[in-house]
Amino acid sequence: MELIQGLMQQPKVQTAEETIPTLCDRVENSTLIGDRRSAVLGLKAFSREYRESVVASGLKPLLSTLKRDHIDDDMVKAILETLLILFIRGDGDQDLTRDWISQQSRLQNGKYPSPLVMKQEDESVDQFSLWIADALIQSSELIHLIIEFLETENFHIRLYAIQILEAILSTRPDRARNAITSLPTSISTIVALLDDIHEPVRDESILLLMAIVKDSPHVQKLVAFENIFERLFAIIEEEGSLRGSLVVNDCLSLINNILNYNTSNQTLFLETGNLPKLAHLLNEPLTRDEETGLEEFFWNDQRIVNMNTCLDIVSLTVEEGNSITKKHQDTLLNSNILMIVLRLAFYHNIPKKIRPIALFTAADMIRNNVDCQFEFGKIDVPYFDPSLNSSALTENTPTIQVINLLINWILYANSIYAFDIRMASLELLKAYFSKNYELQKIFIENQIKDYNTAYGVEIEDSTVNETKQDNGDVVEEGVHDEEEEENESLDEGIKYNILEVLLNYDMDLPLNPYKLYFSGDILTFLFKDTIEDTDGNTEKQSISEIVRTMKLGSQVEDEEPLSVIETISELLLTSLTGGHIRIPIAYITFLIGWFYENFDAVNDFLSTSTTVHSLLAFCYQINDEDITVKCLVTMLLGIAYEFSSKTSPITREDYYEFLTKRLGQDNYQSRVRQFKENSLFSRNKIEFDIFNPPLDDTGLPKLYFTPYFVNLFNDNYYRIRTALAHSPKQESYRSITYESFEEVQGKCTELKEELIKVNKASSEIIDNLTNKLDSLTTKHSETLSEFERLQTTQEDTEEQYEALELKLKQTDTDIESLKKEKQALEKLRDDNSTKLGNNEIKIKELNSNLEALEAKFKETMGQKNKAEEGINKMSKELFQLTKGIKTLEEKLKQQETTFNQTKSDLEKQQSKLKDVITEKDSIISTLNKRIDESMKSINDLTDSKTQNVKEMEEWKAKFNSHDELLQKLTDKLKSLASHFKDIQSERDSLNE
């Protein structure tokens, strides 16, 4: 029966693991293009469920076939679609090619989602996408081929080619960008797709260009010179301008990417007629179409994003610190974009998500630019509260100066939802005052005047009047206008005085603690921004000095008015026990920033010893307050010591003795280190997000310290921590900033150049004088030497004359003595001649005797030499014989030693050979035994084999007989079955 069932079963179905390699082989090796195309379509069908197998087996054949059959559109479309599916399928169970939903509500361009958008929303990249990207980038040929597909007329091929490039860029951005730009015409080809009539191709091209130009200055320049800005603004206009969809934001983001960190592109953008188009976009929410009668601009999330992107583009063109920033600011001012941005910032119906961005953008547009700051300061705006819902302005809405409105927003827009607006307003206010001492001075003097007027303090207006006269008619007129506006605003109850917040006790301050934070931040900015303008310039009084010398009234009669620092110190003492940590932190950090390197401010602080004692006593109170405040108070006392002097109200030595006894040097350093490592300062070091601030338990942002204080503490931590380690006899010096050092270095360089010029001119004069002096010296030397020579010659002549006279006298004396000697010698000659004749005779006799003796001596010497030669010969022979005997004896001894040693070695080798022979004999006998046993085993196996062969033949015979029997049984079963059917049919007929 099993055999019958096996015959009736259908053929086995092939699995995907077996089919995919077969299809890959057909793709690579089939000769007919139709077979290859059908195989590619088969791989495409498997690519979603069996992605790993298709990538592993089919990637190489697909790429080789793409190069081989790139002329066939159907083949190219199938391969590109397959590669795209493999790229964006994802490595999870969910098929992202079908189930992916954009978090940005982005419409899908075609059949498949954009790989770049998927990458933006899911940062992870799986290993198979990396595999595919590496295979495509491995050679530039494939990338160039895909770029060529962008010029084909087939819509799907163009779309899939763009998405493939997007997928590669999202996976390997740097290598893919290099491969794309290696083709000279690639950028032009991609930019040309912006003019495509099919929107999916155009929209995907925008996304592709965004990825290509990102963080690549070279590509940014290439794209910018393809008339890209005009094309993009045309698309924006076609899509409905600011009212358009996400495509508008993509175009604006592409402009942003092209301009980002590229000053040449920014200049090109501003100088090629793009500002009117940008101004039209920015101004669109502020205008109404009179012809069609459209209502006010309706805001939705997409339009808010579009507007913020436009504002980002404006900010990019005025990056702080660039040399061309001022030129760009002037261009934006002249093109009216600055005023449009300001209208957006101060228009009451602008959404809250746009207002802070507009304020930040306006800050960038006026920072460090006197002309823009002046134009900004002339603006008057209607007053409204940005923390409340927008509503139409009434006729009674007061109009105030823009600076006063900013201060009001900064101090009194007390809503957590308006915190970003307060921060942005603060930044705009700082930008208005940045590097403009005159505006700062006018502002602070008016603030002081308004404060004193409001609280009944009489002051002299001489400084204000002098300022008006010095600044000319324009500034004078601005001051008068400002004063008029301020007076009107005061009558209407609109507050905008930072000194009022800082110097007055406010019981409601815990409800709005950040107005104190912002007041201190504004004043600290004004103090620090004018240091460079006032250092070493006695004609300019620093802002900190103007505020410090301000006198406050006292409620007690006959009592001297308090200084500003004394007032703030009293308010600080009051706030220490209030339970609201932000208030004392704001006071202390403001005072620390003021005291640092300001000896006069420290002297004002030390003028009230009770304040110092109270602060020091607070450091040792045992309570549950946060340690941050105690550390800050300790630091404040230490900084006051660091910048105290011997002329301070509490002298430096007395103050040092007081602190070290009550506080201690080690405790002070521990508190400063604790503040850095274990306090609110250390627990909130993450970058603060203005638009999404982290909140504490009270619902307020976790912002406790101003940026100035953070930078001051981090930059001067060592000096602050070691303040009490400095000797009280040695006063402190101001530290030099890098900017001051750079300025001094510049002056030093100029002086060096001037010194070089002076030295050069002096050296030329010195060289001329030296040359003249040398020539005169040479002449003088020659004359002097000639004089000395002549003088020497004269002296020599005189000496020679005297010597000759002496010689003449001596010669006369010698001549007389010689005559006498001549006579004596002649007599002696005669005597010697006689004696000589006698001596010659004797010499002849002696010579004959000498010759006879010499002959006898020669004969005797010959006999002696013969005898000595015989003796020497016998001595040599005897010595040689003795030496030979010794040599033979030594050789004999050596031969005996060698013989004995050789004999012993031979005996040892003989014994070893005997042992080896014995061992070999035993091994041979063992091997013979094994051979015999093996022969027996072979014989047994041969017999067994013969027996098995016989049994096998018997079994074969039995199997043959069984086969015949099986055939017979089968025939018998068939006959029985037919017989059974006959019987059954007969039974049925009988039953009927």
The set of residues, in sequence order, having a beta carbon less than 8 Å from that of 611 and lying 6+ positions away, is 566, 569, 570, 573, 605
Percent of the chain residues topping a pLDDT of 90: 37
CA 755 to chain centre: 40
At residue 90, the pLDDT reads 60
Burial of 135 per CB tally in 10 Å (0-12, 13-18, 19+): middle
Of the candidates 567, 530, 401, 550, which has an alpha carbon nearest to the alpha carbon of residue 463? 550
The residue that leads in pLDDT, 980 or 289, is 980
End-to-end CA distance of the chain: 34
- pLDDT band, residue 468 (cuts 50/70/90): very low
- pLDDT band, residue 247 (cuts 50/70/90): very high
Domain boundaries, the chain: 16-226, 567-690+711-749
Distances (CA, A) of 807 to 590, 731, 796, 799, 820: 112, 92, 16, 12, 20
Distance CA 362, CA 348 (A): 17
Distance CA 274, CA 717 (A): 49
Average pLDDT estimate for 949-957? 76
At residue 587, the pLDDT reads 95
Question: What are the pLDDT digits (tens) for 885-897?
Answer: 777 778 778 877 8
Fold of 567-690+711-749: Leucine-rich Repeat Variant (1.25.10)
DSSP symbol at 416:
G
At residue 429, the pLDDT reads 96
Q: With 70 as the cut, is the pLDDT of residue 111 above it?
A: no
Structure tokens belonging to residue 210: 């965004």
Structure tokens belonging to residue 537: 């310039």
Distance CA 892, CA 116 (A): 103
DSSP symbol at 735:
P
Average pLDDT estimate for 40-53? 86
Query: Which range (97-111, 134-148, 177-191, 815-829) has the least confidence?
Result: 97-111
At residue 414, the pLDDT reads 80
Q: With 60 as the cut, is the pLDDT of residue 11 above it?
A: no
Q: Which residues pair with 695 in a beta bridge?
A: 701
DSSP symbol at 862:
H
Cβ atoms < 10 Å from Cβ of 685? 10
Structure tokens belonging to residue 342: 């300001």
Distance CA 244, CA 22 (A): 50
Question: What are the pLDDT digits (tens) for 718-742?
Answer: 999 998 888 888 877 766 666 667 7
Distance CA 359, CA 424 (A): 6
Question: What are the pLDDT digits (tens) for 748-794?
Answer: 888 888 888 888 888 888 888 888 888 888 888 888 888 888 888 87
Q: Which residues pair with 380 in a beta bridge?
A: 401
Distance CA 597, CA 593 (A): 9
CATH number of this structure's domain 16-226 = 1.25.10.10
Domains 16-226 and 567-690+711-749 share a fold: yes
Question: What are the pLDDT digits (tens) for 152-199?
Answer: 999 999 999 999 999 999 889 999 999 999 999 999 999 999 999 999
CA 658 to chain centre: 47
Q: Is the pTM of this model over 0.75?
A: no
Query: Which range (285-299, 490-504, 806-820) has the least confidence?
Result: 285-299
Distance CA 155, CA 509 (A): 66
Query: Which range (407-416, 634-643, 973-982) has the least confidence?
Result: 973-982
